[in-house]
Amino acid sequence: MKKGVSLLFLIVCLPGWPMDWDLPVFSVRYEVAGGVSEDPDEDIALPSSLRNTVVFQIKESADAASFGLAFRGSAKDDFLQGGDYSYLQVDQDGSFTLDKQWKLGYALGAKRIAYPLPDSQGLSKDSLALNGGSTLGFTPVKGTNLEAGLSARLSLADNTADTLQTYVLSAVVSTRLGEWLLAARYRGEIRGALGPASVVAGNAYHTGSVSLQWDPNR
* CATH number of 54's domain: 2.40.160
Contact 107, 113 (CB under 8 A): no
pLDDT at 176: 93
pLDDT at 18: 59
Q: By residue range, what is the domain housing residue 185?
A: 133-218
- Confidence check: pLDDT of 8 > 90: no
Q: What angle do CA 111, 112, 115 make, to 5 degrees?
A: 140
Number of domains the chain is built from: 2
- Confidence check: pLDDT of 10 > 70: no
**Domain end position, chosen among 117, 150, 166:** 117
What b/e readout covers 140-156, taking b as 16+ CB neighbours within 10 angstroms? Answer: eeeeebebebebebebb
Q: Quote the CA–CA distance of 69 and 107 in Å, as a whole number.
A: 10
pLDDT at 207: 97
The amino acid sitting at 59 is K
pLDDT digits over 31-89, tens only?
Answer: 999 988 877 666 677 788 899 999 999 999 988 899 999 999 999 998 877 789 999 99
**Domain end position, chosen among 86, 117, 148:** 117
Contact 184, 199 (CB under 8 A): no
Burial class (CB in 10 A: 0-12, 13-18, 19+), 32: exposed
Contact 104, 98 (CB under 8 A): yes
Report the Cα 91 to chain-centroid distance in Å: 8
pLDDT at 124: 93
pLDDT digits over 101-157, tens only?
Answer: 999 999 999 999 999 988 888 899 999 999 999 999 999 999 999 999 999 999 999
The answer to whether residues 96 and 46 belong to one domain is yes
pTM of the model: 0.80
pLDDT at 121: 87
Three-state DSSP at 26 gives strand
Q: Judge whether 52 lies within some domain.
A: yes
- Confidence check: pLDDT of 17 > 60: no
